[in-house]
Structure 1
Amino acid sequence: MHFQPIERPAQAFQQPVTPAHLQEISRRVFGRDVVEAVELGLGMYNTTYKVTIEGRDRPVVMRFAPEPARQARSERELMRNEYATAPYLAPIAPLMPRIIAADWSHELIGRDYLVQTLLDGVPAPDGLPGYPRPTWTSFFRKMGEVTRKVHDVRGPAFGPVAAPAYRTWSEAVAGALRELAADAEDAGLHAADLRKAAALAEERRDVLDEITEPRLLTGDLWTVNTMIAEKAPEPTLTGVLDFDRTWWGDPAADWTIRMANAKQDERLAFWETYGKQERTPAAAWRSLIYEIRHLGAVRLERHRHGESDGVAQSYDDVAAVLAEID
């Protein structure tokens, strides 16, 4: 087989698998050998390969979670969370990769893995720059439509789809902040600011608990997790992927909403199909708590990838948000 990994430092968070592992998995799932495996580099958590199987017309995707010991509290068993979410994503099923196999047994490799169909198109970060920016509005309108369909799905409890489940939204938010703080401390980072935010979430639980109906949050949907058509006259969204960070909660807490609000540019078209945001004082306060949760997750990711300047910047960013809350 032809094997094309991405060269990474030995201490890198994303660890490769061996050609032998890929062959064993292919034989288990398809009963056939791998012809070629090429590692895909856009993701920053799982390790992902485009794999060509003997006798199959189309390649498949094999995704490998980090080894259990390398997973943080706030990112535990994300692949299993994605698998548990699949039945709730029926409203956007035509845009999703299909799961061919899932294996949590660790019999062949000491990591969870998924085998999925390969989506058509090109990753949006690669394809969008080839279009004039004014035409990007069509892409963001479709993003708004997709996000609205996900947020309209109702759930049984608050928190990650797979677990743990929380009775109230304030418990879920405070719990997430405490987990992020503990993860940061495990990594040797200070986390007093995240613990302060958790305390604020508990103190002002009445504001958070105005959210009484759990809705499905995409967790991580933005351009990096989308595909667009090749050679279309305008950017055309054809696929969405990597729903491993899904939550039940307040749609305003979703990463997608944060990114849609990040700049006043072509992404304003997102709101044309998504709909209007709540603009009450309570909603504004909640958005500040949600921003700290996002910044805490970004801090951990930057630390994981050795971005010391980005880690330092996260403390200034959280401090600015806390000042607004106070």
Structure 2
Amino acid sequence: MHFQPIERPAGAFQQPVTADQIRAVCRRVFGPDAGVSSAVEMGLGMYNTTYRVTVEGRSRPMIVRFAPEPDRQFVSERELMRNEYATVPHLAKIAPLMPRVISADWSHELVGRDYLVQTLLDGVPAAEGLRTHPRRARTGFFRQIGEIARTVHEVRGARFGPVAGPAYTTWSQAVIGSLQDIAADLDGLGLDSAGLRKAAALAAEHHAVLDEITEPRLLSGDLWTVNIMIAEDAPEPIISGVFDLDRTLWGDPAADWPIRLAASKQDERVAFWEAYGERDLSPAAVWRSLIYEIRHLGAVRLERHRLGDPGGVGDSYDAVETVLAELA
């Protein structure tokens, strides 16, 4: 078996598994005689540990993804892989773009971590493939993201919050709960959570504005270039797959990650809105968007800390204070 892990510092967040553990997973999924010819760790993603695995007798490689150990997961990022798995039935409208789940195992008997075995998507990562296209050709790519985001947001749910739970009866409860969870994670790391707690207090004080959102819609949570594949050698960037939608939740579509990123720059990404539709810029919607921005910035602060980026952590403090000043 050719086994190729990525060399990382001992204290890195993403931890490898062993060749024997990958063999054991494949035997569990494909039978006791399944042989593994190669397992190559992929550099995509900054949370799960992902391998491209070739099993003898199967025509295509597959993807095996291992979640972090439970005690390494933040409260606000609890069991993201299980959340992704629970979301699959709700993403039927974009099923042709999604990897198919071959097997899921939450037992921790083989590895001590959740893992998913999935089909390998065709194409090349968009973050890499877009560099081969001129900027003027990328408008169609962002238009496609807008179409996908609109399709996902059309899916209706019964409760607010992460797809796998916890569930909330109102949107304000879900938003406040998320802000408090992120603040608790920051406290546990010795980082300042005051801005997140102030935002949670403002959300509670003005909960009626948040509760104008009465119909839970599905949010992708993390749909953008890093989680998209595009067709290889195509004359224009054509989206061939989307993956790692593990931060899905039921809520206000305006709180979704692609909405934030599409609005962040006035460049070729404005084509997103051509397919998605116009933004709500009413005073109430703008106020809600500021609360959402602090939630995003809190999550970014956690990620920057996890990646060992103190400068990024520091920048997030100033960014939160700027948004809080607009809320005042």
**TM-score bucket of the superposed structures, by smaller chain:** over 0.9
Which residue of structure 1 lines up, in the alignment, with residue 23 of structure 2?
23
Q: Deviations over 1:103-138 (max 9, x none)?
A: 000111100000000000000001001000000011
- How many angstroms apart in 2 are the aligned matches of 1:53 and 1:273? 40
**Is 1:11 the counterpart of 2:11 in the alignment?**
yes
Question: Aligned ranges for residues 30-109 of structure 1 at < 5 Å?
Answer: 30-31=30-31, 32-109=34-111
Distance (whole Å) between structure 2 residues aligned to residue 138 and residue 310 of structure 1: 31
| Structure 1 residues 46-195: aligned runs within 5 Å | 46-195=48-197
Alpha-carbon distance between aligned partners in 1 of 2:307 and 2:240, rounded to the nearest angstrom: 30
Q: Give the C-alpha shift of residue 35 in structure 1.
A: 0.5
Measure, in 2, the Cα distance between the counterparts of 1:8 and 1:71: 19
How far residue 34 of structure 1 moved from its aligned partner, in angstroms, is 1.1
SS at match of 2:250: strand
Whichever residue aligns with residue 22 of structure 2, its letter is L
2:201 matched residue in structure 1: 199
Q: TM-score, normalised by structure 2?
A: 0.99
- Look up the SS of the partner of 2:322 in the other structure: helix
What is the CA-CA distance between 1:171 and the residue it aligns to? 0.5
Does 2:313 match 1:316? Answer: no
Cα shift at 1:287: 0.3
Task: Tell me which stretches of 4 or more aligned residues in structure 1 moved more than 4 Å.
Answer: none
* % same residue: 70
Query: Superposition pairs for residues 202-213 of structure 1, below 5 Å?
Result: 202-213=204-215
Q: Distance in 2 between matches of 1:283 and 1:147?
A: 18
Gaps of 5+ in 2: none
| Superposed displacement of residue 217, structure 1 | 0.2
The code of the aligned residue for 1:284 comes to: V
Q: Which residue of 2 aligns with 1:229?
A: 231
Deviations 1:43-83 (A, max 9, x none): 01000001011111100000000000111110000000000
The alpha-carbon deviation at position 159 of structure 1 amounts to 0.3
Mapped partners of 1:209, 1:184: distance in 2: 27
State how far apart, in whole Å, the 1-side matches of 2:42 and 2:272 are: 28
Shift of 1:33: 1.4
Bigger Cα displacement from structure 2, 29-38 vs 227-236: 29-38
Looking at structure 2, the residues matched to 293 and 40 of structure 1 have their Cα atoms a distance apart, in angstroms, of 29
Q: CA deviation at 1:154?
A: 0.2
Per-residue deviation at 1:263?
A: 0.7
Q: Deviations over 1:194-218 (max 9, x none)?
A: 1000000000001000000000000
For structure 1, list consecutive stretches of 5 or more residues without a partner in the other structure.
none
